[in-house]
Chains A and B, each alone.
Chain A
Amino acid sequence: MKTENQKAWFFVLPVLLLVAFNALIPMMTVVNYSVQETFGDNVFFWQGLDWFQQILRSERFHAALGRQFLFTFLILIIEVPLGIAIALSMPRKGLWVPVCLVLMALPMLIPWNVVGAMWNIFTLPDIGLLGYFLNHVLGINYDMTQDPLAAWVTIITMDVWHWTSLVVLLSYAGLVSIPDAYYQAAKIDGASNWSVFRFIQLPKMKTVLTIAILLRFMDSFNIYTEPFVLTGGGPGNSTTMLSIDLVKIALGQFDLGPAAAMSLIYFAITLLVSWLFYTLMTKDDLN
């Protein structure tokens, strides 16, 4: 029998400790909170699974979950094709490569809360550049503080502005790693642009795209700061995403038990979707 040296696992130990302290132990605490009620002062009362039942049957949770899925679906369906298209049109050689890369990276360097504040001011109907232009020059009635549709358009545009670059940079990394020989072979065979994309570029980008979509899914599914700063979850509840609702329950109402139950359900959803997506995308590679 082949003996393998498993000592390398010891090198993983520091990471394991770190994860234990910043993720595992807080998570265990959340599990403990989710079955209890507290009025503060570290005194807890057993509640069983009532909070889970209450959250699972609450219309408020269903609505927030629906908005969250809609938001994530919309940004993915815009950012992924747009990111690929931009990556395809970027130069592969020459002086413009670093310029493009830096320009692309710029939005991602800006902190979330600053992005929210920027877009808030940018889109305000009376003083914002975009808001004023739309309302007073084009005559379109646009006010994201009053109109849910305008609020949605704004947060989606903001997210696309902020995060398409991630898809672009990852796709671009996949694209530049394709050897020229592939393109030459395609040229000899007289392949169309679409065939080159479908059979050479897309398969070569698959791994990085999987990572890009996973990152964008998890990030957008957990989005908090930007809509919080931009719309505060309003008008009404129209942009109250799951995390905003969660923080309202946990810190606003100080209902730690229901908030813990909700965050575990939230976690289960993120985990399942990420696992499903990763498994489906890497299924062929492993086999």
Chain B
Amino acid sequence: MLSWMAWTWPTAMVFIGIFSAIGVLILLEIRTPGGDTRKGVLGLTTTRGDRLFISLLGTSYIFLAWLGLVGMPLWWPLALSLAWAAFCFWKV
């Protein structure tokens, strides 16, 4: 049924990762409602969901920039992305 979608394991893992992150956010929201709203270092008022969005958007740009300017392998952008995500959830 799903063969037309041409699934591969790596792309499936990406989506499983994103959806589990959203799932974790839902669980957190049920435990502590209100989205943990705060004003971060960028001057933006963000919730947990905003922080995930900014992390993912930043991650896609880090990888695209690395691919375009440097190329393979992608360990460095992975480390950068993890650092960016940690920064987003910690400070933004």
Contact = CB atoms under 8 A, between A and B. Distances in A.
A269 B14 CA distance: 20
A240 to B, nearest CB: 21
A279 interface: yes
Residue of A31, A36, A44, A52 with highest tally of chain B CB at under 10 A: A31
B45 A287 contact: yes
B85 to A, nearest CB: 17
Contacts of B60: 268
A93 interface: no
A279 B5 contact: no
B11 A283 contact: no
Given A35-B11, A36-B8, A42-B6, A272 B61 contact: yes
Contacts of B5: 25, 28-29, 32
Interface residues of A, number: 27
A32 B43 contact: no
A106 interface: no
Nearest to A43: B6
B67 A44 contact: no
Contact of B67 (A31, A49, A275, A286): A49
Contacts of B3: 42
For chain B, what secondary structure do more than half of its interface residues adopt (helix, strand, loop), or is it mixed? helix
Interface in B5-23: 5-8, 10-11, 14-15
Interface in B50-82: 53, 57, 60-61, 64, 67-68, 71-72, 74
Contacts of A56: 64, 67-68
B33 A4 contact: yes
Contact of A29 (B4, B10, B67): B4
A199 interface: no
Given A28-B11, A42-B4, A56-B68, 15 more contacts: A25-B5, A31-B11, A32-B7, A32-B11, A36-B8, A44-B6, A46-B8, A52-B64, A53-B68, A56-B67, A268-B57, A271-B57, A275-B53, A287-B39, A287-B45
15 contacts: A4-B33, A28-B11, A28-B15, A29-B4, A31-B14, A32-B5, A32-B6, A32-B11, A36-B6, A49-B72, A53-B71, A53-B72, A56-B64, A271-B57, A286-B45
Interface of B: 3-8, 10-11, 14-15, 33, 39, 43-45, 53, 57, 60-61, 64, 67-68, 71-72, 74
Interface of A: 4, 25, 28-29, 31-33, 35-36, 38, 42, 44, 46, 49, 52-53, 56-57, 265, 268, 271-272, 275, 279, 283, 286-287
